[in-house]
Amino acid sequence: MPNRLEIDRRSVLAGTGALAASAVIPGAVPSAAAQGSALSGLSVFGGLKYGADFSHFAYANPDAPKGGRLVMTSPRWFYNQNPQTFNTLNGYVLKGDAPPYVELLFDSLMTRALDEPDAVYGRLAESVSISDDGNVYTFTLRPDARFHDGTPVTADDVAFSLTLLKDQGHPNISQTIADLTSAEAIDATTVALTFSGRQTRQLPLFVASELPILSKAYYTATAFDESTLEPPLGSGPYRIGAFEAGRYIEYERDPDYWGRDLPVNRGHFNFDVFRIEFFRDRQVAFEGFKSGVVRFREEFSSKIWATEYTFPAFDDGKVVKNEFSDGRPAGAQGWFFNLRRKKFADPRTREALALAFDFEWSNENLFYGLYKRTHSFFQNSDMLAVGPPSEAEQALLEPFRGEVPDIVFGEAYTPPVTDGSGQIRGQLRQATKLLREAGWQRKAEGGLVDADGNPFTIEVLARSTVFERIVNPMIRNLAILGVEAKFRVVDAAQFEARLNEFDFDLVGRRFALTPTPSEGIRQLWGSEAAETPGSNNIAGIANPVIDALTDIMIRAETRDDMVVAARALDRVLRAGHYWIPNWYKAVHTVAYWDEFGWPDETPRYDFPVEQLWWFDVDKAAALKDNG
């Protein structure tokens, strides 16, 4: 399952021919002016940037040429977001490891505008209308929508797909859409989605924009809940081309794609071939980029970015380094504790272990000063809690006094700042005190044991050695505390299996949130997801206060109310010490062979190079002439 349900990224398309109407707040009764109106777009809190007659998204170049190739490695590989292998082409069930970008094969009813925090516009759907009670969304499909085999995309396909995903889809999907009670085909081009009345404002938008519409005929004859290397039948801008499991996969642009002329498709999907190369070793992957086998690289290693762009192609100007702004919430990157294990049950233990990570020393000596410390799941957004609670935050938190740590009502917890010298005796003394209070005792040999005499050991699970140089200084500090820690590398298949089964002590992950969190956020810290195999709640957070504040946040009636609730929630999450937060930067650091063009404007809420960039024939010719 692509890790982008809550975590951000999907694609494009907007409606044409629909009646212009004011935006409607999903999940609430539409205004009188909008009742019964056919809408070209929706947003959570009202207000749309684009009208029904817009020609293209402002961040796309409608005149971008088609052709050429884009070759890159698996995105977000650096922090274990995607495996460096694949053994299935089904990215919507728990079984198997799918390659990234399989969503390019499928259309959805609507799609996000990447320069708005949560607006979606029609894709397969020409328009949508909402019942007076806000519980029924009726979509009118475009009659010319087609699957790749030429058969029409019908309302029956939509109803079948959403029912199938709810019944057999990945837990991150099925749990998220629990309040979708039915999907019913009214006629060939009209489908009604009915929600329970308990749904949040975001859920109808999530269902419309994040879920693939599948062919009923194909998946009636083909098992959906199995892993498979048979290319699926889709209706999207790309088809599966050549591939070799675990080595590479090519997505080939469909020149007959039914939606190629829709306004939000203008300037999108420009490469004839989009290829992902898989490397099990990151240094080998970098060598592949230096040699030109890989043509685009988003750089996640500060060491490589600062010291290793010294090869001839870079010196000659054939390879270019660049930075593009990143306006998304930076999200949660860190080492997550597995609270399902008794040794991590006490928050004082978790706080103590986190004190062994000296970020300032790492940033100066390992990261070349390129990063800032992450404090929050909501980093780089206005949902980040700062200072003491505001009056509005206090009002939300007060009913939970006694159920949450007292620090929640004071300054938001922030990890201590060191002087960068590597000498953190003060922090280690504080950690020792916390461990003693949590019941850990020193043996004569110096190691810590619990009340039953079990030694305190930790395994930091990874599937690459790239983080070993960062984890090892923390392991040395843990040894001073009496904790025996080791860095364990396993292969990609074993890593994914152990994560799905929650078989780890401490593991590094990164989750980037959307600017308007929706139901999917519960997959990160909701109690129900804590024991669901394969969920993104890898820490096993199961806290009724967090559940309650999450519900308040995603049911907020205004963006201001949502921000207040998010900040209150942030305080509780940070006080729980569920992870050892890492670092972030608010830019995309990328390098590429100088043969591409891109729009003047980078959308604030995503960086979909594979959708918006294009192959520049003149630049490519100049590269060739230059050897």
Structure tokens at 375: 């404090």
Using alpha carbons, select from 221, 69, 240, 66 the residue that is nearest to residue 148: 240
**What's the pLDDT score for residue 126?**
96
Are residues 266 and 60 in contact, defined by beta-carbon separation less than 8 angstroms?
A: yes
Alpha carbons 254 and 268: distance in angstroms, whole number: 13
3-state percent helix, strand, coil for the chain, nearest multiple of 5: 30, 20, 50
pLDDT tens for 474-511 read 999 999 999 999 999 998 889 989 999 999 999 999 88
404 has pLDDT over 80: yes
As a whole number of Å, the CA-based R_g of the chain is 25
Mean pLDDT, all residues of the chain: 90
Q: Where are the domains of the chain?
A: 238-328+589-625, 335-584
Are residues 227 and 93 in contact, defined by beta-carbon separation less than 8 angstroms?
A: yes
**What's the pLDDT score for residue 328?**
85
Tokens 């490397």 belong to which residue? 279
**What's the pLDDT score for residue 264?**
84
Q: What is the mean pLDDT of residues 413-428?
A: 95
- Which 3 state secondary structure label does DSSP give 532? coil
pLDDT tens for 442-474 read 987 889 999 999 999 999 999 888 889 999 999
Higher pLDDT, 329 or 482: 482
Helices and strands, number each (H, E), in the chain: 19, 25
Q: What is the mean pLDDT of residues 47-53?
A: 93
Reported as a pLDDT band with limits 50, 70 and 90, residue 425 is very high
80 has pLDDT over 80: no
Q: For the domain bounded by 335-584, which CATH number is listed?
A: 3.10.105.10
pTM above 0.85, yes or no: no
pLDDT tens for 150-179 read 999 999 999 999 999 999 999 989 999 999
**What's the pLDDT score for residue 180?**
97
**What's the pLDDT score for residue 301?**
86
68: left (phi over 0), alpha (psi -120 to 50) or beta: left
Alpha carbons 602 and 327: distance in angstroms, whole number: 10
pLDDT tens for 299-313 read 988 899 999 999 999
CA 22 to chain centroid, in Å, comes to: 30
261 has pLDDT over 50: yes
Q: What is the mean pLDDT of residues 552-556?
A: 94
pLDDT tens for 15-44 read 222 222 333 344 443 222 344 589 999 999
Reported as a pLDDT band with limits 50, 70 and 90, residue 625 is confident
Alpha carbons 26 and 549: distance in angstroms, whole number: 20
Reported as a pLDDT band with limits 50, 70 and 90, residue 519 is confident
Alpha carbons 105 and 531: distance in angstroms, whole number: 31
Alpha carbons 503 and 524: distance in angstroms, whole number: 17
127 has pLDDT over 90: yes
Q: How many CB atoms lie within 10 A of CB 131?
A: 16
**What's the pLDDT score for residue 513?**
84
Q: How many CB atoms lie within 10 A of CB 560?
A: 12
H or E segment to which residue 136 belongs: strand 136-141
Q: What percent of the chain has pLDDT over 90?
A: 81
Print burial letters for 93-111: b (CB count within 10 Å at least 16), e (below 16).
bbebbbbbbbbbbbbbbbb
Using alpha carbons, select from 511, 509, 515 the residue that is nearest to residue 327: 515
Give the strand pairing for 448-449 and 441-442: antiparallel
Q: What angle do CA 282, 283, 288 make, to 5 degrees?
A: 95
May I ask the CATH class of domain 238-328+589-625?
Answer: alpha beta
Alpha carbons 101 and 236: distance in angstroms, whole number: 11
**Alpha-carbon separation of residue 321 from 111, 350, 585 (angstroms):** 31, 39, 16
User: What is the residue-wise DSSP string for 442-470?
Assistant: E-TTS-EE-TT--B-EEEEEESSGGGHHH
Instruction: Describe the strand order of the beta sheet including 125-130 as a list of residue ranges.
Output: 125-130, 136-141, 190-195, 180-187
**What's the pLDDT score for residue 36?**
57
* Long-range contact set of residues 341-350: C-beta below 8 Å, sequence gap at least 24: 341/505, 342/450, 343/450, 343/454, 343/456, 343/505, 344/505, 346/438, 346/439, 347/405, 347/575, 347/576, 347/577, 348/434, 348/435, 348/437, 348/438, 349/434, 349/435, 349/438, 349/440, 350/576, 350/577, 350/578
pLDDT tens for 342-399 read 999 999 999 999 999 999 999 999 999 999 999 999 999 999 999 999 999 999 999 9
Are residues 73 and 609 in contact, defined by beta-carbon separation less than 8 angstroms?
A: no
**What's the pLDDT score for residue 30?**
28
Structure tokens at 291: 């040699």
pLDDT tens for 585-620 read 989 999 999 999 999 999 999 999 999 999 999 999
Using alpha carbons, select from 624, 607, 469, 477 the residue that is nearest to residue 76: 607
Higher pLDDT, 626 or 13: 626
Q: Which of 275-289, 356-370, 400-414 has the lowest mean pLDDT?
A: 275-289
76 has pLDDT over 60: no
**310 contacts: CB under 8 Å, gap ≥ 6:** none
Alpha carbons 622 and 616: distance in angstroms, whole number: 10
